[in-house]
Chains A and B, each alone.
Chain A
Amino acid sequence: MTEPLGIRAESLSMTYRVPVRESGLGAAFRSLWRRQIRTVTALDAVDLQVRPGESVGLIGPNGAGKTTLMKILAGILKPTGGTARVLDQDPFQRRPEQLRRIALVRGSQPLGGAPELTVMDSLRYQGLVFDVPPARFTQNLDELVELLGIGRLLDRQVRALSLGERMRAGLAMALVYRPQVLFLDEPTIGLDVSAAVRTREFLRKYVVHTGATMILTSHYMTDVAELCPRVVLINHGTKLYDGDLTGLTDRVRHDKLVEVRLADGAALPDGLEGVEKNGRYELSVARDQVAPTIGRLLAGATVLDLSVREAPLDVLMDEIYRREPR
């Protein structure tokens, strides 16, 4: 017996036809009767299988095809090739019973609809549109109010909310009908550090609590690292990697960073090289040389402080993205 799948995409492709022309007045006039069209490939035969309850991060540079993939899975875009199934349904059919089981949250616009309404008005409307029985609505709302800390926002107009408050209210709107699949497009974009931390904490709790499947795109690697045990790297519409984040970073960097603070005026022992920053040295050390290097440091200098860490994720991702020309 095969394991049930939350999401299955096979050879999913998406191409756009975009008008192009040379610059200048003459070309503009010529384009009136001789239009040139170029086909742009946003997704190229992408396969993806996600089990129920799994959290997957879609990563890749701008224009890689992440949002296109997410919109296809949410039923907003119709693919030009391949097939997609979400909870065993074709998402583009947009059947009401299917739409009641999925949610799409866009960080750039977490709260759609009427900005003059209060958050509670919007939530009630959402509950009715998604056919949530009153008792269940109250129960879900109580939980969300507690988890998201939005009690004080309920009687405020949407237009008067800050971006962080909008995101929390937007999450409540998307989750008040308890969707089984969450599509999150840049959920922490524009949020300050505290708001981003709270949003991530909430999402982690929600997924554990409800067993929901989550697909997330984000340029903030902290979101992906904290929320998604599995990442899918997409670039130029092609899937380049599917696995855990460590596996991806191991492909790029074979070193760790050793940061050390020495006693005043001390230099690094002979044979060791590092970059000095604010009285500290940062050494890039091959993974199998970390212990011997620390031994040499401790033996050859007066070490006041020492730490070993991975290269920052953003730096690693930059290296990965740069490997392929855009």
Chain B
Amino acid sequence: MTRLLQLFRLGVVRQFLSWSGAWWFVVALAAGQILPPLIGLAVWRTVFPGSAQVSTYYLALLFTVATTASYENHTFSQGIYKGTLADELVKPQPVIMLPLSENVAVRAWIGLVAVPVIVLVGAMLTVPFEPGALLVALPFWLGAGLLRFLFTWCLAMTAFWSERVHAITAFGTTTLYLLGGNAVPINLLPSFWGDLARLLPFYSMLGLPADAAAGQAVQAGTAAIVQIGWLVLLGLAARTLWLRGLRRFTAVGG
């Protein structure tokens, strides 16, 4: 376990260093992440002028979106297409170290770019946050980060079968934007649609930690069960896709 943690830490440092040479790309990725919630913030503040809840929610959402960003469709899928995944197969470490450490490293870079912007926006809008609400949001934020990684990794692993993985992940990203609480805060949806959206994995990936951080009424127990349930489901899906995909990769070559 200690060795795995050491390898993970090393992998993150290595990927962090590696991405330092692509800072302009990181800026573009960060902008792509934070622009939609910024637009949402502007639109919904116009609809509900003076609502502190909308501002707090969108600021928390901005942070969640930026720090849980996942790009396995750019990173892991390319390894499958180029055959460089074969290089990882002959290393004495679990292959998941590669996407996981790169994911954390990319998030760290996007966070570095995005957090100053978020702080600036927060200062301009004088958005209030309750420390207690932030504590409640913390486990949901961690779960959201893992869930978003698993979701994107699952989509990225379709590269074992298709060369059109970007079309698949684009569909996933759009669905996440529409149903995750980015386009519309889930609390503003009609109750039936809101209840339905809360049961889907997308809310657990974005809206849930933002709602919790904004101090909005969140049924923490139910929300935790839903989030953990999706974590288990997507974890099993990722495992199945990995084993089947690897079988295919090792059957046709890299």
Contacts and interface: CB of A to CB of B under 8 A. Distances in A.
Interface stretch (A55-63, A91-99, A285-293): A91-99
20 contacts: A16-B251, A16-B252, A75-B89, A76-B90, A77-B250, A77-B251, A78-B250, A80-B251, A94-B89, A94-B90, A100-B92, A104-B90, A109-B87, A115-B18, A115-B21, A116-B19, A116-B20, A128-B10, A129-B10, A159-B21
A70 to B, nearest CB: 11
B6 interface: yes
A37 to B, nearest CB: 13
A190 interface: no
B14 interface: yes
A164 B239 CA distance: 39
A109 to B, nearest CB: 7
A76 B92 contact: no
A114 B15 contact: yes
A76 B7 contact: no
Given A114-B14, A117-B17, A131-B92, 8 more contacts: A77-B251, A78-B247, A78-B251, A112-B88, A114-B18, A117-B14, A128-B7, A129-B7
A89 interface: no
Interface string B1-33: 001001100100011011111100000000000
B240 interface: no
Contacts of A129: 7, 10, 91-93
Interface of A: 16, 68, 71, 74-78, 80, 92, 94, 96-97, 99-100, 102-104, 109, 112-117, 121, 125, 128-131, 157, 159
Contacts of A114: 14-15, 17-18
B254 interface: yes
B50 interface: no
A96 B17 contact: no
B185 to A, nearest CB: 39
Given A71-B86, A125-B10, A99 B17 contact: no
A76 B18 contact: no
Contacts of B252: 16
Contacts of A16: 251-252
Which size class do B's interface residues fall under? Answer: 20 to 34
A16 B90 CA distance: 22
Contacts of A113: 14, 18, 87
Contact of B18 (A71, A74, A92, A117): A117
Contact of A99 (B18, B22, B91): B91
A97 B93 CA distance: 10
Contacts of A78: 247, 250-251
A30 to B, nearest CB: 21
B92 to A, nearest CB: 4
A112 B87 contact: yes
B105 to A, nearest CB: 10
Contacts of B250: 76-78, 92
B253 A76 contact: yes
Nearest to A111: B87
B160 to A, nearest CB: 14
Interface in B49-103: 83-84, 86-93
Given A102-B90, A114-B15, A117-B18, A109 B84 contact: yes
A115 B15 CA distance: 10
B14 A125 contact: yes
A130 B10 CA distance: 13
Contacts of B92: 96-97, 99-100, 129-131
A76 B89 contact: yes
B93 A76 contact: no
Contacts of A125: 10, 14
Contacts of A99: 90-92
Nearest to A18: B252
A116 B18 contact: yes
B86 A76 contact: yes
Contacts of B17: 114, 116-117, 121
Nearest to A94: B89
Nearest to A183: B90
Nearest to A80: B251
A157 B17 CA distance: 11
Nearest to B252: A16
Nearest to B102: A114
A112 B86 CA distance: 10
A76 B93 CA distance: 14
